[in-house]
Amino acid sequence: MITVGITYDRVKWEEKALLKAIKKRNLQPRLVDSKEIYLDTLEEPEEVRSTFGDIVVQRCISHFRGLHLAAILESKGLTVINPFKVSEVCGNKLYTTLALIKAGVPVPKTLIAFTEKGALKALDALGYPAVLKPVSGSWGRLIALVKSREAAQAIIEAREEIRNALLQIYYFQEYVERPPRDIRTLVVGDEVVAAAYRYSRVGEWRTNVARGGVSKACPLTDELKEIAFRAAEAVGGGVLAVDCMESPEGLLVHEVNGRAEFRGLSSATKIDIADKIIDYVVEVAKK
């Protein structure tokens, strides 16, 4: 019997759905709260496997916690979904953008700067409005729509005062003229399993469900399936949420999330996404 581990730091709807899918297949679950453990780097692989299972689904909200967990588990020969390298790329928006560009996946125009002076020069070149994002982060946190040079100076000065090295990497994207929505797709292995439009709530330009965004089913067209799958392949594949925007020139991929939340997507499409994920986990475990 395959033992499937789930590492987490908070039990949310998604983790409960995955656990239900594991039990439905009569597989043995291993739930590991990352806040309650420590790991011995010299521990024997079999001892690690007895705690975490034959294959591990990494679900930590904390990117860096999950990344370090994946590194240790893989060093002991365990298979982790998503693998360390995939999580590393997806956990940094710049790394993701570079991987997408290398694979020929269309992305919004993106400029990078490392100082206040460089950031203002970048915005002058990109034009206003522009979108400023942290290179690491989720749920729409610390994303700003910069509408003027005066606003830019205030935002950048505030970031400089925080003294966080990652916040001194200025990641700017063009503001794409699009319908008041984006498209969240979920890729599981070789299949694009679902897609939903995400509409922002009144008074909010960000479409994140965590920010009150609303999900509605989106047709899985050939174009959407192709671009989502190519984006997933570009970052290494696995279980990935690919976020697209409908620009005047066609679809653009603006983010790939390596720890996909899928409650809104499941609700909008009526697709049992947890089932799809665990089917994929079993398939990988048997290889």
pLDDT band (50, 70, 90) for residue 106: very high
Burial class (CB in 10 A: 0-12, 13-18, 19+), 2: middle
Mean of the per-residue pLDDT values of the chain: 93
Q: Quick one: which of 281, 217, 273, 255 has its CA closest to 110?
A: 255
Model confidence pLDDT, tens digit, residues 167-179:
889 999 999 988 8
- State mean pLDDT over 245-252: 95
Whether the CB-CB separation of 215 and 268 falls below 8 Å is answered with yes
User: Is the pLDDT score of 213 beyond 80?
Assistant: no
Give the pLDDT score at 287: 81
The predicted pLDDT at position 5 comes to 98
- Check residue 166 and report its DSSP letter: G
Would you say the pTM of this structure is higher than 0.85?
Answer: yes
All domains in the chain, ordered by first residue:
3-89 (3.40.50.20), 110-174 (3.30.1490.20), 177-282 (3.30.470.20)
**pLDDT of 142 over the 90 cut:** no
Encode burial over 158-174: b for 16+ CB neighbours within 10 A, e otherwise.
ebeeeeeeebbbbbbbb
pLDDT in tens, 13-62: 999 999 999 999 999 999 999 999 999 999 999 999 999 999 999 999 99
pLDDT for the residue numbered 162: 82
Averaged pLDDT, 269-284: 97
The number of residues in the chain equals 287
